[in-house]
């Protein structure tokens, strides 16, 4: 037998700054070629081996310090879940040693911590107790947990009747309220609907300020966005541990090369005619179309976006002193038409209607567009445009602001617009009303976008300048 495996809690009050220590860890499984071999093994026991040993994970060393967020990436089957389960203590390593300091909460296998016959509420009590909360502590937090999960009356139904989205909501709500020191989250499970994803990402960002986070994702952008460091697993072996950006770039480059080699595809080439320079120079930037538009339209490759309407009853968190409140948020075409779909690159008007409950001067209205990870892509406010003559109004009056901009070309996915009204100056102001996730829109096609967002290209040119 291999060296004694161990997963255990280090004392809570230890002053060691390393919170997770993984040393020489490996996990092996016995693989039988047929059920008969498994049976013979059972019968003949130690005299002969009828199995092959398969190392799902081997040679893993990792130290995570308090407050760090470490991402784990790798293809399907590379060993990510195996490693996390061992750190969470739900799987025993075959070799090596794992030490974890503090209270660990994990969101790993879907619903693995829930008893399907118990109601959601009973499972909350069960799980939170296992994670170290007393009955009184749970009683004090149950309202917050239920509000976070937001599954309505289902909370008193058996968990077996839940959709997978509901299970994730409840599981996340529990781990978010148990004062964990270490959180282990498999991002694939945290993708419920767009509003819930935003809520989870907000929570994780907040948690990062006080706790240690291990985050598994197939989504390279999510890893660079959240993590300082990353571990790349390949076929159960550590391939690279370094700065998240470096790891992700190498990982993506290799994925890309592997995919291209597999499909035997040629490099993608776009040849586009250049507009006459006179035409370009005279055109006003705002009226310039993306010059690829015709070709893209023919190829049905315009990145369509679907816009959902503002509904004050189904938005994310809100805050502010509310002497002014946001009553309406709309995306319209420049001719005033209400938009339900639009294409990346189109000029749009975002209008925000604010009602003043008290007289206010120096009003600032603004917005942010965020991606599904809550990452702010762009935004603006009225401050600079009105610095000499700040908007004001009396109690009961409505201020309507409009931001006209060219919608970027966005990778497929869900996006949210946060809107806010404040009073004061850019540097010193009182938040009157901030609404997270006020308006949702979804980009459906990302055939021509690169990075977090694409901009309409004014020109793309290639010239062979010779020189051999």
Ligand X SMILES: Nc1ncnc2c1ncn2[C@@H]1O[C@H](COP(=O)(O)OP(=O)(O)OP(=O)(O)O)[C@@H](O)[C@H]1O
* Closest separation in Å from C-beta 248 to ligand X: 16
Give the phi and the psi of residue 46 in degrees, each rounded to 5: -85, -10
Q: Which is nearer to ligand X, 30 or 297 (CB)?
A: 30
For ligand X, which residue of 74, 316, 344, 391 counts as binding (CB under 6 A)?
74
Which residues have a Cβ under 8 Å from the Cβ of 294 and sit 6 or more positions away? none
From start to end of 374-428, where are the E strands?
376-381, 398-406, 413-424
Report CA-CA distances (Å) from 199 to 72, 205, 260, 316, 372. Answer: 22, 10, 36, 7, 10
Number of residues that bind ligand X (CB under 6 A): 10
State the nearest-atom distance from the C-beta of 367 to ligand X, in Å: 36
Phi, psi of 420 (to 5 degrees): -155, 150
Min separation Cβ 78 and ligand X, Å: 4
Q: Which of 5, 26, 71, 79 binds ligand X (CB under 6 A)?
A: 79
Q: Which is nearer to ligand X, 237 or 392 (CB)?
A: 237
What is the β-pairing status of strands 182-186 and 212-216?
parallel
Residue closer to ligand X by CB (options 78, 127) is 78
CB of 219 to ligand X, least distance (A): 12
Given candidates 5, 58, 70, 80, which one binds ligand X under the rule CB under 6 A? 80
| Coil vs helix vs strand at 259 | helix
Region label for 197, one of left (φ > 0), alpha (ψ between -120 and 50) or beta (otherwise): alpha
Distance CA(251)–CA(260), nearest Å, equals 14
CB closer to ligand X, 29 vs 378: 29
Q: What angle do CA 195, 416, 212 make, to 5 degrees?
A: 60
Give the strand order in the sheet containing 18-32.
6-10, 95-101, 18-32, 51-65
Distance between CA 360 and CA 17 in Å, rounded? Answer: 50
71 part of the interface to ligand X, by CB under 6 A: no
Among 7, 69, 78, 123, binds ligand X (CB under 6 A): 78
Sign of dihedral through CA atoms 38, 84, 220, 149? positive
Contacts to ligand X from residues 97-156, by CB under 6 A: none
Q: Tell me which of 9, 29, 193, 255 binds ligand X, using CB under 6 A.
A: 29
Q: What angle do CA 26, 28, 34 make, to 5 degrees?
A: 170
Q: Which stretch binds ligand X (CB under 6 A): 6-14, 74-82, 170-178, 410-418?
A: 74-82
Nearer to ligand X, 78 or 123 (CB): 78
Binding region for ligand X (CB under 6 A) out of 78-86, 276-284, 298-306, 456-464: 78-86
Could you tell me which stretch among 75-83, 295-303, 308-316, 350-358 binds ligand X (CB under 6 A)?
75-83
Near ligand X by CB under 6 A: residue from 77, 132, 312, 396: 77
Question: Does 76 interact with ligand X (rule: CB under 6 A)?
Answer: yes
Q: Is 378 in the site for ligand X (CB under 6 A)?
A: no
Which residues, numbered 49-68, are part of the site for ligand X (CB under 6 A)?
56
Site for ligand X contains 81 (CB under 6 A): yes
For the chain, the C-alpha Rg in angstroms (whole number) is: 27
Q: Is 7 helix (H, G, I), strand (E, B) or coil?
A: strand
H-helix or E-strand containing 56?
A: strand 51-65
**Applying CB under 6 A, which part among 76-84, 198-206, 273-281, 436-444 lies near ligand X?**
76-84
For residues 77 and 396, which CB has a smaller minimum distance to ligand X in the complex?
77
Among 147, 23, 163, 144, which Cα is nearest to 93's?
23
Select 217 or 382, whichever has its Cβ closest to ligand X: 217
Q: Which is nearer to ligand X, 76 or 263 (CB)?
A: 76
Per CB under 6 A, the segment of 69-77, 173-181, 445-453, 459-467 that binds ligand X is 69-77
* Nearest 10 degrees: Cα torsion 44, 46, 51, 56: 140
Nearer to ligand X, 78 or 381 (CB): 78
Toward ligand X, which CB reaches closer, 81 or 382? 81
Strand 347-356 with 18-32, pairing: unpaired
Using CB under 6 A, list all residues that contact ligand X. Answer: 29, 56, 74, 76-82
């Amino acid at each position: 037998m291999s060296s004694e495996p161990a997963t255990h809690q280090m004392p809570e009050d230890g002053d060691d700054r390393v919170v997770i220590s993984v040393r020489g860890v490996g996990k092996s499984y016995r693989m039988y070629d047929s059920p008969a071999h498994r049976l013979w093994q059972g019968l003949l026991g130690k005299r002969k081996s009828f199995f092959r040993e398969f190392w799902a994970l081997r040679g893993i060393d990792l130290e995570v310090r308090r407050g760090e967020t470490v991402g784990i990436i790798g293809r399907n089957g590379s060993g990510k879940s195996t490693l996390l389960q061992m750190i969470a203590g739900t799987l025993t390593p075959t070799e090596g040693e794992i030490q974890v300091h503090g209270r660990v909460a994990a969101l790993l296998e879907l619903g693995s911590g829930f008893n399907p016959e118990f109601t959601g509420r009973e499972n909350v009590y069960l799980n939170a107790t296992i994670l170290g909360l007393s009955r009184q502590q749970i009683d004090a937090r149950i309202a917050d947990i239920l509000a976070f999960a937001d599954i309505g009356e289902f909370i008193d139904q058996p968990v077996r009747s839940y959709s997978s989205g509901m299970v994730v909501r409840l599981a996340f709500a529990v781990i978010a309220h148990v004062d964990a020191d270490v959180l282990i989250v498999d991002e694939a499970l945290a993708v419920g609907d767009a509003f819930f994803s935003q809520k989870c990402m907000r929570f994780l960002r907040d948690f990062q300020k006080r706790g240690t986070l291990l985050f598994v994702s197939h989504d390279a952008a999510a890893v660079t966005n959240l993590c300082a460091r990353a571990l790349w697993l390949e076929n159960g072996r550590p391939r690279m541990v370094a700065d998240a950006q470096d790891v992700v770039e190498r990982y993506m480059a290799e994925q890309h090369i592997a995919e291209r080699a597999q499909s035997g595809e040629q490099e993608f080439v776009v040849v586009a005619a250049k507009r006459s320079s006179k035409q370009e120079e005279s055109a006003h930037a705002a009226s310039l179309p993306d010059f690829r538009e015709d070709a893209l339209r023919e190829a049905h490759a315009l990145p369509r976006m679907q816009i959902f309407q503002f509904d004050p009853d189904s938005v994310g968190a809100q805050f502010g002193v509310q002497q002014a409140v946001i009553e309406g948020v709309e995306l319209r075409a420049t001719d005033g038409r209400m938009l339900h779909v639009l294409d990346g690159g189109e000029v749009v008007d975002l209008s925000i209607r604010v009602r003043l409950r008290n007289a206010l001067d120096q009003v600032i209205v603004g917005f942010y567009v965020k991606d599904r990870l809550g990452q702010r892509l762009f935004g603006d406010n009225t401050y600079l445009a009105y610095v000499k003559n700040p908007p004001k109004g009396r109690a009961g009056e409505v201020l309507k602001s409009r931001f006209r901009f060219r919608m970027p070309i966005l990778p497929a996915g869900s996006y949210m617009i946060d809107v806010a009204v404040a009073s004061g100056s850019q540097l010193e102001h009182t938040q009157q009303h901030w609404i997270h996730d006020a308006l949702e829109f979804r980009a459906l096609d990302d055939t021509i976008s690169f990075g977090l967002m694409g901009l309409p290209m004014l020109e793309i040119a290639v010239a062979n300048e010779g020189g051999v």
